[in-house]
Structure 1
C-alpha cells in the first residue's frame, strides 16, 4: 500500500485547490481515514490495489460544510442506444477512466482536514455540448465530424464517426485530466462487450455467475422457461419467510441483470411487488428465475410492456404495473401506448442530438384495434372520460404525425414478453426477435 499512498500524494499535489497549510486559529479540522479497495478485472483476477483518503463524513454538517452533491450518471438506455449506433455504423468505441475523479471538484469554501500519517509536505475539452436528453452525454459536431463522450461518474465511453476526431478528444482529455487508457470498450458498469464480425454482443456473464455462486445456485438444474403460462402470484398465500432479507437481495440483484436481459424483465417486475412481505412461493419463483439464468391477482392492475429496437437489438424496454385500475383491455392498452409514446419522444430527442436522421412517424405497434382508434380519433370518448389527461399525450403525438400506430396480431406482439407468462416456444421466438442470443452463437464461452 506504500505505492498507493505515494500515488495519492502525487495526485493531491497536482491540484491547486488542495495542499498542506498551517492550521488557522479557531479553525475546525476534520478527521480522515484511508479506504482500501481491490479492483478486479472481468475474469476476477486482481488488477490493482487502490487507496483513497477521505474525510470522515459524520463530522460534516449539511449546509455548512457541503450542499447537494451528485455525479454525472448516464441513463442505461442512453448507453444501449449509443452502443447500437456504434455497432450499426461501425464506429470505434474507446474507453477511458478519470484517475481520482473526486479530486477534480471545485470547492466553494475552505475545508480543513487533518493530515494522514506519513504525509510529506513539498495541478471541457473545447467544443463539447451537453445534451438535453441526457446530461451525461456530450456531443461535438463540427465540419461534418461527430465525436461523442458518455460519462458515468469517472468512466468514459468515447466514440464517433471520425477516428481522428475521437483520438484528438482522448488526447485533449489526457491533457486536462490524469486519464487511464483502457483501450477498446470491453467492460462498462458491469456490462461486458464482445465484438465480432457480425456486430456487438452485450452481456453480464460474470455478474450472472457471481450471482448464482453467491446464492448457492451455481450447480442448480437449468430450465428453459421463466414462469408457467397463466401462473398467478398472490400477496397473502403461502408461508412467511424466516428471513426476507435474502429475497430482497435476490430480487435487487436480478433487477440489475435486466439491463441486458429483457427476457426476465416481466418475471422480475412481478416478484419485486412483494418485497415488503414475501412468501415462500415468491422465493421459489425467484429461484426459478435463477435456474433459467443458469440455462439460458391482488390489485387487478394491468402491466405496461413495451420494447424499442434500434438496428437488430433492443435498446429500451419496460415492464411496469400501471398505477390505476383499468376498466377494460382497451383502456389498459391505451395507457400503455401513452407511456410508450413518452419513451419515443425522449429517444427521438436523443437521436437528434446524436445527429441521426429521424423518419416520421415513428411506428408503434399495438395489438388492440380499439386502443388504436381511441388514439387516432380526437373526439372525446365517453368511455375514456375517466382516464387521466396526461395519457392523452399519445393522441397528440398521433395527430402531429410524429407517431404512427400500427396494428400487429397478438401472436406476433413481442411486447407480450414484458406483460405475461408465455409458453416455451412463443417465449423463445420473441426472445430471439429482441436480438438475444446464446453466448456460444457469438463465440462467448459460458463458465457456469
Structure 2
C-alpha cells in the first residue's frame, strides 16, 4: 500500500510573473516494487532537434502555430496493476480511517504514470488519423489532401502547426473531447521558451530571457557583465583557482559550481538556434 502527499507549486508566465498556484496530490511511488506495482516506466518526449525543424517549417511556410495544455495529464492513464493508496491527508473519512483507496487510473507520483499517459494519448491521436514519426515518437503528422497538421507532444504540452485553420480546429475539438484541455491559442511560451513571431517577415525567434534572469538571481549575479561564452576555448582549470582563504570561500558560498554549470548547460542545450528569417 502506498502513501500520498500534497505538492504545491507556483506557475509563472514568460516574464516570470505568477500566473497561478497549483495543488496536486501525488503518490509516494518510491515504495513501489518492480514487477508487482509496475513494469515499464519510460515516457518518450520530442527531441530538441525535431522541435527545431518544426519551428523552421512554421516560419518558412507561414503555418498556424497554436498551443494546448493537457490539464492533469497523468490522470488520464489507465492502470493494469492493482494499486492501493492511503486516504489523502485532510480528506480522511471519519469512521473509515482504516480503509484505503484502490486506484482505478494513474496518479502523479506513480512510477508508471507518465508511461500510461503516453500510451493513452498515442491511442487517441492515432484513431484520429495521426501517424507517429518513426524517428521521434512524440511528433505526429496528419495529411488531408493538400492540407497537413503537425502535432508535437512534450509530456503535457502540445504544439500544433497547421497549414489549414479548419484542420487545426477539428484537431483541437478532438483533443478537447478526449481530454480536459486548456486552449492557449497562438503559441507564445512553451517549455520555458518565449516565442516571438512576425508573420509578415516570416520571422520567428525563441527567447530564454525569463530563465536566464532566474539563474542570475539565484546566483546573485544580476549585475554581472554579459559575454559571449562563460569561459574561453582551451581554458584549463587547476586547484590553484580554488578558494585559498576564508574570505574567498565565503564569496563563493552562494555560487555552487555544479549547480551553476548545470544551469548554464541547460540553457545552452535549449539554445538550438534562436532565430529564423527567410
Q: Which moved more, 1:91-100 or 1:37-46?
A: 37-46
Query: Which deviations, in whole Å up to 9, do the C-alpha atoms of 1:383-409 show, x marking residues without a partner?
Result: xxxxxxxxxxxxxxxxxxxxxxxxxxx
2:68 maps to: 96
Query: 2:4·2:25 contact (CA, 8 Å) conserved in 1?
Result: yes
C-alpha displacement of 1:62: 1.9
Following the alignment from structure 1 to structure 2, what is the Cα–Cα distance between the partners of residues 163 and 149?
14
Among residues 248, 251, 267, which one is paired with 2:258 in the alignment? 248
1:198-217 equivalence runs, <5 A: 198=201, 199-217=203-221
Contact persistence 1:72–1:151 (CA under 8 A): no
Asked whether the equivalents of residues 95 and 183 of structure 1 are also in contact (C-alpha less than 8 Å), the reply is yes
CA contact (8 A) 2:150 2:160 kept: yes
1:312-331 counterparts in 2 under 5 A? 314=273
Structure 1: distance between partners of 2:276 and 2:55: 15
TM-score by length of 1: 0.49
Corresponding residue SS for 1:86? helix
Determine whether 1:80 maps to 2:52.
Answer: yes
Correspondence list, 1:44-443, <5 A = 44-116=16-88, 117-118=90-91, 124-125=124-125, 126-196=128-198, 197-198=200-201, 199-223=203-227, 232-236=234-238, 238-240=240-242, 246-259=256-269, 261=271, 314=273, 435=275
CA RMSD of the aligned region, Å?
A: 2.6
Q: How many residues align?
A: 236
Higher helix share: 1
Select between 29-38 and 217-226 the one with higher mean Cα deviation: 217-226
Question: Residue 406 of structure 1 corresponds to which residue in structure 2?
Answer: none
Of structures 1 and 2, the one scoring higher in RCO (CA 8 A, sep 6+) is 2
Checking the alignment, whether the CA contact within 8 Å between 1:94 and 1:183 is kept in structure 2 is: yes
Partner residue, 1:39:
11
- Partner Cα distance (2:228, 2:182) in 1: 42
Q: Distance in 2 between matches of 1:143 and 1:47?
A: 40
More strand by share: 2
1:420 — aligned with what?
none
Name the larger-Rg structure. 1
Matched-pair contact (CA < 8 Å) for 1:137–1:148: yes
1:234 positional shift: 2.5
Contact 2:48 2:270 in 1 (8 A): no
Which residue of structure 2 aligns with residue 430 of structure 1?
A: none
Task: Mark the CA change 1:119 to 1:137 in structure 2 (over 3 Å): closer, same or farther.
Answer: farther
Deviation of residue 49 (structure 1)? 1.6
Which structure 1 segments of 5+ residues have no match? 1-28, 263-313, 316-434, 438-448
- Please state how far the C-alpha of 1:115 moved relative to its aligned partner: 2.0
Q: CA deviation at 1:79?
A: 1.0
Q: How much does 1:163 deviate?
A: 1.4
2: CA distance between counterparts of 1:31 and 1:60? 10
The offset of 1:436, in angstroms, is: 8.1
Q: Is the 8 A contact 1:202 1:260 kept in 2?
A: no
